[in-house]
Structures are given as structure tokens and as C-alpha cells.
Structure 1
């Protein structure tokens, strides 16, 4: 059990030791961010008030947070938020926690749009989840004074409720991004053309899913992680939709680190003009660009 230290500094040090003993990564960062959420303060404020004691209510909340973290519940779910592309994103167990690799996906789409000197742009996102991709694209493109139209689909109504809240959190008007509850396997082709199809689909093969860290497997939604098959099912559908005559734009997808060869085999079935894979910060091919 967590002992009751005298001040913030001691609380952090005790928690770090407990987390390190349980092999929790980034133990100090976790301890500090949990405490920041309890106190509703920044890390800088935390450092400036290391000698401050906690109230009984604050101690109770912090102990609960620590116990939840010790059970491998993700930090982001405990505090209910994360940062993505510089924007605050609300998260709960109905949505996948945004990853750094997905920021690369957003960056590639933004760079391509800027290179084309477009005045207006339309995007169809598949698997919207928390809405982080569509929100980041909308916010960044509005800074460039572009007319942005984004339709974002997800099979989970609960996930899209989170996405709607994230739009409000980031100052977007209701309906500015059109979120639609839809199973993409019911879509053969798009009813209108879009400049881009963007997706971070469930790409973990089912036999690999069971090997994931408890922090991921036991808490994040399975439906956002795996297709319960070989990890390629969603790409096959995305490529089919993109190959229809109603779409003339580009496709950008996040991919698994070892899926390049398998995806290239699938792409051979279609008459796309070109495709390209981009590496992540670890040197793995993680972003796929397909040109119609």
C-alpha cells in the first residue's frame, strides 16, 4: 500500500519506487502526470510546489490512480486525456489511445496537401475512433485558410461520441467534421469523390494480439486493434473502395511495421498508378501512400 508522505516531492519519490518495482515504464513521468491531474496543475507548477502537502481528498484520489496504474490501466485512460499533434484529446476505453506513429500519418497528409496548393480539400477517414486524425487535419488546414470538408466513419457509436466531445474540446463547431456510424464492409464505393482517404485501421493479426502487453490487450478496445484475422482485412476493403470509379484521390494509411510485403501483394490486384511506404522514427515502414 502507498504510505502517506509529507509533501508532493515525497509522494512522487515513493510512487516512482513502487512503479519501478512493478516494471512500469517511465515511472517518474507517470507519477508526476497522475499527480498533476489530481491537483489540476502543470508539471511546472508541480515543481514549484514540491513542499506542498496534499489534502485528505487529494491523497485518496491519488492512491486510487496509483492502484489503477499498478493494474496496468493506461495512464491516458486514468487521467482521461492525451496529447496528439499538439492538441488535447479526450480518451476512454471506447477509443484507441493515439500513438506517435499516427502523427506521422497526419504530417504526410498535410505535406501532400500543401504541395498541391489546394484551396479546398475533402477527406474521408475510415475508423475515426477518438477523432484525433480528423481534428488535427481540420485544425491545421484551417490555419492555412483552406476550406476543409471531412467525413469520418466508425462502426462504434460510443467512439464517435468521444470524437464529438473532442471536436468541442478543440473549438470546432458541431458538424464541422461529419461523423458517421458505419461499417466500412458495407461500403463498396463512395457516393462522392474525396481528395483523400485516410485511415489507421485495426492491423494487428489475431495471433499477435494475444501477445500484446497487458496495458494494451486488457484495456484498449479489441475492435480498434485487430481484425481478428491476418491484419490485412481492412486494407483489402480500403483498396477496394479506393479502386472504384467514384474515387480519384490519394490514400494514406498507417500500417504494421512488418506488413509492407503483404500489402504490396494486395496492391498488385489493383490498377493504382503508384504507391510509396514511409518510415517511422524507428526506421520501420509504417505509412502507406497510394495514388489513384
Structure 2
């Protein structure tokens, strides 16, 4: 940067001016919702809410604030996810810690949590104890934590293979402890490997990896280059993990217990075939539900 530009940059210390420069810079680098991204990053640097920026447009920014903001804008312009940069994300009213090595929870998984909560109200519990929920491929722990924050009659067990993701889940369990109404336990393992196959769970739920090899190459660079492939990729057809879960879950669900999965939007027929094939006789006829975009996204089946 030339000296003249450096001098001009030092003079642009008002919040509104810096914000506009950042917005333009992000737009030039192809970042969608550039204004919103700039606002969220600046609000995080200043330690205030995003809407509070509008009350402080004439506020002068200190040089250290400017430098930190520049560094975060550079990271965002390179495609690093906003949630990784600020270190947190929202999920059904919870604020969760996230960062490199853990999948950022999506709105579809918020809908999955809502679907589980709706089904819990109709679940015939066999005794007066807690409803046992097993969350597989738990990542940040968002799904089980949302359930435990909204119900006081659950016992949630999370399993996660990735050590990095499990560390994020453990951190979130600790940070959310005061807001949880039901206990949550974390196990680092591959799916069911640390769980006793005693058919005692009322619900097995998962947002597993379901992206095919071909789809991985077409993911946005922000996802493909930054989020963990272990949480995304699932073989040639994107069904490797879904097939394992469907094939193994009946050994952990009680009769009448529910298996609820998030799947890819084009996998409806293939998932139906898995239930009719390898899992024939183990479950009821699966139900498929759409996401908010009207695409088939979720499958529900009860163990016979």
C-alpha cells in the first residue's frame, strides 16, 4: 500500500466510513451479503451488538480496532467462514462456539431439531424415566444441546469421531451447562462403537455426512476449503454413513423407538431402498419430510 493510501486510511476512522470501505472490499472479493458480513465483523471487534453500530456511525475508531477489523476482513475476503472468524454461531436460540475442524450448523439441522421435538411429544415412553436420545455424528453438539435446552425429560448422548469436533462439542456442553434442562454426555467414537447394543434408546438422530464424491467438487469454496471433509463426504453416492446408521441403529433402539435422519435433497429414493433392502423388517415404512425450501430432507422410521 502506497504512503498516500496509508495516510488516507488513517484519516478514515469514523465507523460509517470504515464500514463502507469494508463492504466494498468484500463485494470486490465475491462475498455475498457483504454489508451484513462487514457489520457483524465490526460489531464483534467493538464488542457491541450489530444494531448498535447504527447508533455510533460517527464514532472514531482507535488504531488497534482498525487493525483488528482489517485482519478479519482480509480473512473473510479469502473465503474463511464468518462463523469461524467470530468464533460462534446461533442455533435455535443458543450461541455455540465453532471454529476450524467442526461443521457449522445449518438451518436445516435446526429444522431437524424441531422435528425431533415434535415427535418426542407423541413418543410412547415405556417407563417413567428420562427419554434416551442418541445423537450420532454430533459435530459441535448443536442438535443435542438444542434438545436438552428445550426439554427437561431427556438424557442425551452424543458420539463424534473427530477429535477436533469432539473438543468443540465438549466446550459447548460446558458453556451451555447453565441453560440446559436435561443432561448431555459426550463420547468420542465412530457411531455406535462405544455404546452398548441393549436396545434402550428411544430416539437415534443424526445429521451425518451425506455429500457424494461428485458433489464435493461442486461445493462453494467457503465450504470445500474450510469446513471438515469428514463431516461432509460420504462416498461415491453420499450414502456410506446413512447406510451404516440404518443398518446398525436397530440394535440400539427399543421397539417403537425412532430413527430420524437428515439426508441429501436428492437421496430420497436411495434411502427408501436402504430401508426396503438391508433393513427390511427392522423398521416401519419410512416417512419423508421436506425442508423449508420444499426439498426432501428428513426421514423418520420406527423400529419394529
TM-score (norm 1): 0.92
Alignment partners' CA distance in 2, 1:116 and 1:68: 46
Distance (whole Å) between structure 2 residues aligned to residue 90 and residue 62 of structure 1 = 20
Q: Tell me what 2:99 maps to.
A: 92
C-alpha distance in structure 2 between counterparts of 1:214 and 1:220, whole Å = 10
Normalized against structure 2, the TM-score is what?
0.89
Match of 2:59 among 30, 35, 52: 52
Q: Alignment partner of 2:76: what SS?
A: helix
Structure 2 residue runs without a partner (length 5+): none
CA contact (8 A) 1:91 1:130 kept: yes
Partner residue, 1:137? 147
> Quick one: distance in 2 between partners of 1:185 and 1:33?
39
Kindly report structure 1 stretches of 4+ aligned residues shifted beyond 6 Å: none
Superposed CA RMSD in Å reads: 2.0
Give the alignment partner of residue 89 of structure 2, picking from 82, 94, 97: 82
Shift in alpha-carbon separation, 1:167–1:187, aligned structure 2, 3 A: closer
Residue pair 1:7, 1:54 contacting (<8 A) in 2 also? yes
Q: How many equivalent residue pairs?
A: 287
Q: SS where residue 190 of structure 1 aligns?
A: coil
Match of 1:163 among 163, 169, 180: 169
Secondary structure of 1:170's aligned partner: helix
Residue 136 of structure 2 corresponds to 126
1:187–1:128 CA distance, 2 compared to 1 (3 A): same
Are 1:154 and 2:164 matched, yes or no? no
**Which whole-Å deviations, capped at 9, do the CAs of 1:126-171 have from their partners, x for residues lacking one?**
10110000100000012xxx2x111110111221111111122223
Q: Does 1:282 align with 2:268?
A: no
Aligned to 1:201: 208
Q: Secondary structure at the match of 1:267?
A: helix
Equivalents in 1 of 2:270, 2:174: separation in Å? 39
Deviation of 1:192 (Å) = 4.4
Query: What is the DSSP-based 3-state SS (H/G/I as helix, E as strand, rest coil) of the residue aligned with 1:228?
Result: coil
Q: In structure 2, how many angstroms separate the alpha carbons of the residues matched to 1:117 and 1:126?
A: 22
